């Protein structure tokens, strides 16, 4: 979300920005591509993730571009999505820093301008444990431009 839209009691620090990518099994016809266009996703079977706000953004971008992917399977969490992909079901749309598994290939989506900002947030004035304080300091000090979360 937008850190400026958070309540005044919440302090936030931007960590990094990331785009959406397509994730496919290594056997999929897209697997050898570096990028797929929005048009190539038309009528493609894509795993729906109903609890993921990024899917809402992706669906809006598809509608605006006149693209109609098919959402035949649903995944309630990342592990279900990985299992479906590794079993050869459909393709997925996920953040570029999503932890990939062996046997899966990711690529960028050409023509999709959406990206999200990942922030660290805390309630101002709240006391933290030693571990939480250390985590906040480390997260803020990290140069996220060079971190790969895969």
Q: What is the CATH number of the domain that holds 86?
A: 3.40.190.10
Q: Looking at the structure, tell me whether residues 64 and 77 fall in a common domain.
A: yes
Token couple for 40: 């190539």
Q: pTM of the full predicted structure?
A: 0.77
Q: Looking at the structure, tell me whether residues 64 and 135 fall in a common domain.
A: no
* Tens digits of residue pLDDT in 84-142: 999 988 899 998 877 677 899 999 999 887 888 888 999 988 899 999 999 999 999 98
Split into its structural domains, the chain has a count of 2
Nearest to 115 by CA among 38, 70, 54: 54
Q: Looking at the structure, tell me whether residues 83 and 22 fall in a common domain.
A: yes
Cβ contact 119:14 at 8 Å: yes
DSSP label at residue 76:
S
Identify the domain containing residue 22 by its residue range.
17-117
């Amino acid at each position: 979300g937008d850190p400026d839209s958070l309540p005044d009691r919440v302090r936030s620090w931007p960590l990094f920005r990331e785009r959406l990518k397509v994730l496919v099994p290594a056997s999929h016809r897209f697997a050898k591509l570096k990028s797929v266009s929005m048009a190539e996703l038309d009528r493609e079977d894509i795993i729906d993730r109903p609890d993921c706000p990024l899917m809402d953004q992706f669906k809006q971008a598809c509608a605006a571009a006149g693209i109609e992917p098919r959402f035949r399977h649903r995944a309630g969490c990342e592990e279900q999505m990985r299992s479906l992909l590794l079993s050869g079901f459909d393709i997925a749309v996920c953040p570029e820093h999503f932890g990939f598994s062996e046997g899966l290939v990711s690529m960028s989506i050409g023509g999709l301008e959406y990206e999200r900002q990942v922030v660290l947030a805390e309630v101002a004035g709240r006391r933290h444990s030693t571990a939480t304080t250390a985590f906040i300091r480390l997260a803020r000090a990290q140069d996220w431009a060079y971190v790969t979360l895969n």
